[in-house]
């Protein structure tokens, strides 16, 4: 399996990393077998978190680390913001993982202004993880987060971190475009390690696993963390990594056109709908809708399983209020009686632009339902 240098850490990590979230679903024996299969295949990046099953994932990883700790780079996460709780969590993580140190300790779920304030406060969680590094309990410090990445972008300008991890997939690329356009170039400029996760958009792309994983691996990340709850799924992921060839830009565009999850609803942020007659920034409105609910509610009647999955995931990152505030600050908002037919004609993806804009306006304002 291909290896890539993890930024300024200087170590080489395998293209495919294994995440521990889904180990919570498995018996101890099955979890042990799965982690061993990954290591036997040559994988060398393992990641878990104290919050996964209240430590259950870490304990299951620890069963393997007891004898194979030197075969991988091991990472865990702390999400607590209260300093003493975070310090206690780190100590418990090391006990659960049956090791005296991890390679990367992530400050997890960096998303809001409150997160930034609590992390950077004197005596705050950043000082706790730095103390852990000084004590030899971690080699490197990272940050991780979901959804819109502005808080992570802000944090890496205020402190020197070694690694950053966030989600990369062809669906949320159009909900949080600043991830690839702004965050990634800055992370690479700072020579930080860049780790991808959520290639399947929290399971939303389960019917398109092969192109989804290949797409994420084609980005300038250093390793892609995947989750698995069966050996068959893990073997499928490993095979994709072992036979990986980068996806061309033309192939990515073909995916943007044909992906069933994007369909005729999700805006691809191409800007070809502009200019709008009233000066409305149409792609921006759809980006804000993406912040709100990942453009997942589209008024299409589906089978119960698909409906339930969308309902579970649409507010996964809890950024609805941020989206509404940002929309309220837009100089031009959607004209519910406006004529956006020319913009619709220019859309290469067949979006019903006028109806889509009214839907976005409704989500972002909760004004009376604007549809016939």
The average pLDDT across 283-305 equals 95
Give the CA angle between residues 253, 232, 193 to the nearest 5°: 55
pLDDT of amino acid 130: 98
| Phi, psi dihedral angles at 76 (to 5 degrees) | -140, 175
The average pLDDT across 294-307 equals 93
Domains, the chain, with CATH or none: 3-254 (3.20.20.100), 282-365 (no CATH)
The Cα 21–Cα 48 span in angstroms is: 7
**53-72: per-residue pLDDT in tens?**
999 999 999 999 999 999 99
The average pLDDT across 89-104 equals 98
Task: Estimate to the nearest angstrom the gap between the alpha carbon of 82 and the chain centroid.
Answer: 24
- Would you call the peptide bond into 33 cis, given omega within 30 degrees of 0 as the criterion? no
pLDDT of amino acid 211: 98
**210-222: per-residue pLDDT in tens?**
999 999 999 999 9
pLDDT of amino acid 366: 86
* Count of other CB atoms within 10 angstroms of residue 4: 15
> Does the pLDDT at position 372 exceed 90?
no
Average pLDDT, the chain: 97
pLDDT band at 370 (very low <50, low <70, confident <90, very high): low
pLDDT of amino acid 196: 98
The average pLDDT across 150-175 equals 98
**The pair of three-digit structure tokens given for residue 75, joined into one six-digit string:** 């990472």
147 burial class (0-12, 13-18, 19+ CB within 10 angstroms)?
Answer: buried
Percent of the chain with pLDDT over 90: 97
**187-198: per-residue pLDDT in tens?**
999 999 999 999
pTM over 0.85: yes
Angle between helices 83-97 and 56-68 (to 10 degrees): 50
**The pair of three-digit structure tokens given for residue 161, joined into one six-digit string:** 């971190």
* Count of other CB atoms within 10 angstroms of residue 175: 27
pLDDT band at 368 (very low <50, low <70, confident <90, very high): confident
> Does the pLDDT at position 176 exceed 80?
yes
Q: Which ranges constitute the DSSP H helices of the chain?
A: 28-40, 56-68, 83-97, 113-120, 125-134, 150-158, 178, 184-189, 209-217, 231-242, 249-258, 282-293, 304-313, 320-328, 341-346, 353-365
The average pLDDT across 297-307 equals 91
Closest CA to 228 of 71, 34, 370, 27: 34
The average pLDDT across 74-99 equals 98
The average pLDDT across 284-308 equals 95
| Phi, psi dihedral angles at 143 (to 5 degrees) | -130, 155
CB neighbour list of residue 68: distance below 8 Å, 6 or more residues apart? 36, 39
The Cα 127–Cα 147 span in angstroms is: 25
The average pLDDT across 129-135 equals 98
**314-335: per-residue pLDDT in tens?**
999 999 999 999 999 999 999 9
């Amino acid at each position: 399996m291909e290896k890539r240098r993890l930024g300024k850490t200087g170590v080489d990590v395998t293209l495919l990393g294994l995440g521990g979230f889904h180990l919570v679903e498995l018996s101890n024996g099955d979890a042990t077998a799965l982690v061993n299969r990954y290591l036997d295949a040559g994988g060398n990046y393992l990641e878990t978190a104290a919050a996964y099953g209240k430590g259950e994932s870490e304990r299951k990883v620890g069963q393997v680390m007891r004898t194979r700790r030197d075969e991988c780079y091991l990472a865990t996460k702390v999400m607590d913001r209260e300093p003493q709780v975070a310090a206690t969590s780190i100590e418990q993580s090391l006990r659960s993982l049956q090791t005296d140190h991890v390679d990367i300790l992530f400050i997890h779920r960096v998303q809001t202004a409150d997160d930034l304030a609590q992390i950077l406060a004197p005596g705050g969680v950043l000082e706790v993880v730095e103390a852990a590094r000084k004590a030899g309990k971690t080699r490197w410090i990272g940050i991780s987060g979901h959804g819109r990445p502005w808080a992570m972008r802000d944090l890496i300008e205020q402190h020197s971190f070694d690694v950053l991890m966030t989600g990369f997939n062809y669906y949320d690329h159009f909900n949080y475009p600043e991830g690839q356009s702004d965050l990634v170039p800055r992370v690479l400029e700072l020579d930080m390690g860049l780790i991808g996760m959520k290639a399947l958009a929290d399971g939303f792309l389960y019917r398109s696993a092969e192109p989804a994983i290949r797409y994420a691996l084609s980005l300038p990340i250093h390793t892609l963390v995947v989750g698995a709850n069966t050996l068959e799924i893990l073997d499928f992921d490993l095979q994709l990594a072992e036979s990986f060839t980068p996806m061309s830009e033309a192939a990515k565009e073909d995916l943007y056109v044909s992906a069933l999850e994007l369909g005729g609803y999700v805006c691809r942020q191409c800007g070809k709908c502009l200019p709008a007659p009233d000066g409305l920034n149409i792609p921006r409105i759809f980006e804000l809708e993406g912040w709100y609910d990942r453009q997942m509610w589209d008024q299409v009647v589906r089978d119960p399983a698909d409906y339930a999955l969308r309902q579970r995931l649409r507010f996964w990152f809890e950024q609805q209020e941020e989206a509404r505030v940002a929309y309220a600050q837009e100089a031009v908002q959607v004209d519910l009686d406006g004529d956006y037919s020319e913009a619709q004609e220019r859309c290469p993806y067949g979006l019903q632009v006028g109806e889509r804009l009214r839907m976005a306006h409704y989500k972002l304002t909760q004004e009376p339902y604007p549809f016939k």
